Amino acid sequence: ATLPARTGLGSSSSFTVALMKGLAAHRGDSRTSREIAEDACRIEIEALGEPIGKQDQYTAAFGGINVFTFNRSGKTTRRALHLSTNAKRSLEESMVLFYTGTTRNAADVLADQNERVPEHLEHYRELTGLVPVFADALTRGDAETMGALLAKGWKHKRLLGKDVTNPVLDALYESACAAGAYGGKVVGAGGGGCLLFFTPRGQREPIQKVLQEEALRLRLSESRSIPVRIEPEGAQILLNTINSIKK
């Protein structure tokens, strides 16, 4: 993999989904994307006891852009969002994904957040309420609205646990916003890893430069911008010399 681990990008779940997909192919078992996602969830959540959700496994299994609803019954529903070519291009050109050069153990950060859920229910309600509004802006490729919504969500998320943010993350976040980013958030559980921003047209590279300069000031030698592209497909079998698998 070319992406660093423990950065909030779902690398562990992506690996598990790919492993489940590969094992199914080896057995000649043409499992659906939903079945592969649930297989990965059972490994990570039930067998390994990780204090995580199902969003990363489902995203890796299905690919594309989706709204997932995780019901109390344990059932997960999926609504695929279909973007026009222009909206997709606008989305990709407006996003800045910046690796801070710092990593964290998501299980530790999430364990602390899970203990504090009862006292932060209002923040979770506010975050949930942003989803349909964000999905609507997403289908239009409206970077300004998406950035504002991420900024609003980040104000709530940063209060969910003691390790969600820190002075380094705050300094990087503030530098990007001061340079013109519409808004953003720390990706994943928080505590380190990557920051995601939405930027005005033509301002992506200048904002990336500002982030890199701020990272150098903070002596984050491993930091860098990561290219973003929307992947329409989930985990795929690229070569199978053992069995013929139906898609």
Task: Give the model's pLDDT for residue 244.
Answer: 54
- Rounded distance between C-alpha atoms, residue 32 and residue 34, angstroms: 5
Six-digit token pair at 182? 């519409």
Rounded Cα distance, 108 and 158, in Å: 15
Indicate whether 72 and 100 sit together in one domain: no
Instruction: Give the per-residue pLDDT at 2.
Output: 65
Of the chain, the percentage scoring pLDDT greater than 70 comes to: 96
Q: How confident is the model at residue 112 (pLDDT cuts 50, 70, 90)?
A: confident
pLDDT for 55 equals: 94
On whether both 66 and 97 belong to a single domain, the answer is no
Q: Among positive and negative, which fits the CA dihedral 159, 163, 164, 167? A: positive
Examine the domain organization and report whether 64 and 94 are in the same domain.
Answer: no
What pLDDT does 246 receive?
47
Claim to verify: residue 101 and residue 72 sit in the same structural domain: no
Residues 152 and 98 in one domain: yes
**pLDDT exceeds cutoff 90 at 95:** yes
If asked whether residues 147 and 193 sit together in one domain, one would say: yes
Q: Is the pLDDT of residue 117 over 60?
A: yes
Quick one: 135 and 205 in the same domain? yes
- pLDDT band per the 50, 70, 90 thresholds, residue 245: very low
Q: Are residues 223 and 120 in the same domain?
A: yes
103: domain CATH number?
Answer: 3.30.70.890
191 and 79 in one domain? no
What pTM did the predictor assign? 0.89
Q: Is the pLDDT of residue 18 over 90?
A: yes
3-state SS of the chain? Answer: CCCCCCCCCCHHHHHHHHHHHHHHHHHCCCCCHHHHHHHHHHHHHHHCCCCCCCHHHHHHHHCCCEEEEECCCCCEEEEECCCCHHHHHHHHHHEEEEECCCCCCHHHHHHHHHHCHHHHHHHHHHHHHHHHHHHHHHHHCCHHHHHHHHHHHHHHHCCCCCCCCCHHHHHHHHHHHHCCCCEEEECCCCCCCEEEEECCCCCHHHHHHHHHHHHHHCCCCCCEEECCCCCCCCCCCCCCCCCCCCC
Q: Is 56 a catalytic residue?
A: yes
**What's 241's domain CATH number?**
3.30.230.10
**Residue 60: C-alpha distances to residues 108, 127, 133, 231, 232 (Å):** 23, 22, 23, 10, 11
Beta bridge partners of 226: 97
Residue 105, domain extent: 84-229
What lies within 8 Å, CB to CB, of 38 at 6+ separation is 57
- The active-site residue, picked from 29, 39, 56, 108, is 56
Mean pLDDT of the chain: 91
pLDDT tens sequence across 190-216: 889 999 999 999 999 999 999 999 999
Asked if residue 207 and residue 89 are part of one domain, the reply reads: yes
Residue 247 pLDDT more than 60?
no
Strand-pair category, 95-99 with 224-226: antiparallel
Measured over the CA atoms of residue 182, residue 13, residue 87 and residue 204, the dihedral's sign is positive
Q: How many domains does the chain fold into?
A: 2
Mean pLDDT in residue range 110-139: 91
The values of phi and psi at residue 225, to 5°, are -85, 145
The rounded percent of the chain whose pLDDT value lies above 90 is 71
115 shares a domain with 209: yes
Distance of CA 213 to the CA centre of its chain: 24
Q: For 41-76, what is each residue's pLDDT tens digit? A: 999 999 999 888 999 999 999 999 999 999 989 899
The verdict on 94 and 128 lying in the same domain is yes
